[in-house]
Structure 1
């Protein structure tokens, strides 16, 4: 009974408050719209602030380029942009900087002719020497002597076209039944060792640093070089050691022995 009386008392106060109409101030007056001249002026200032960024992007060059195409980005396009492009092609330099990135409907000379012409024009207008070498994922060779990539960049007559090493390894792995095979990672690892070698000086310094770390922090004393090398992670090899190719003759012999 006590709780019912309390509830009815609260309801009575609530109804009394609702019976009084609230006083609301009138809405503010709408400000006058700016003139078209003012809008164009603001738009012009906004464009001028972006010119510096465009200049920085288009001022990236390189003497060794790498061109690669992928479908992974275009598959993520949704809405109106869905199915508007099939390939994303990126061109980077030896420092990992991206020179240009385009969306195309086809891969090869048909879809990349405008990109190649614009890239050659950029070098020419900036007075920068043309690149000496370009790595590609396809169209690097031709029995007639001129590859499709060389014909695409015909303005750079001295440009050397080579197949990227990763895609070269993929050519060897094409004969494997499936990538999920238990021997596939081991085969690719051995194939990488046939092509690349670690700088001996960097490897020696990394081994000494790892030995000092194991002795100081973990108390592991008296380890052999082989045991220390086993403790070095893959990320440490990539971070502290430079890699280089072994050379055509040595690589061919090692791959032949591997196969």
Structure 2
């Protein structure tokens, strides 16, 4: 049965994607983990991120050569899926974030589209789960987002989507008479700041206001730069 969900205070999935894209356009990356988590994530990473990007570049070059056409907006979804079939989420983020300046605008756009599809799949948008139980879909989405790489968690794109999904999951749970489960990612500092900004925007009930208009957005950008520097320092020491 479909959940009886009140949508008056819900952030639409498309809006979360818009917020994430807008945030990342400014390339103000951020980490939503504490220092200890950053160290742990960096230590367990099997390869440094520069190597991940280099290998992703090689995979794209090989796949496009086999395809017999250059990367452009005319590449079909099926063709792109064939090219990237061996790449994991961390590699996709390397392409999307243009690590090392190795990737074209179209490659970044297609990588983000794949990442967004993975997020939608995790939430059950394509198998009917989300339609049957919004809260369950939201929780699955949260768990997926919390499982991405340390590098991806330094992006405002990730933090904006993570904050919006947490907000919606809790609202869906309450509307269906359930107590929301505790999730680790909700306490990531950048997520907390952006969620506060999101709630401020929703409380205004002004459709002309955007998350980036809220004072919390600027706070998040400042924290993002600090956390980015910290992560890079940790990775250098571990390497």
- Scaled by the length of structure 1, the TM-score of the pair is 0.24
Structure number with higher strand proportion? 1
- Scaled by the length of structure 2, the TM-score of the pair is 0.26
Higher relative contact order (CA 8 A, sep 6+): 2
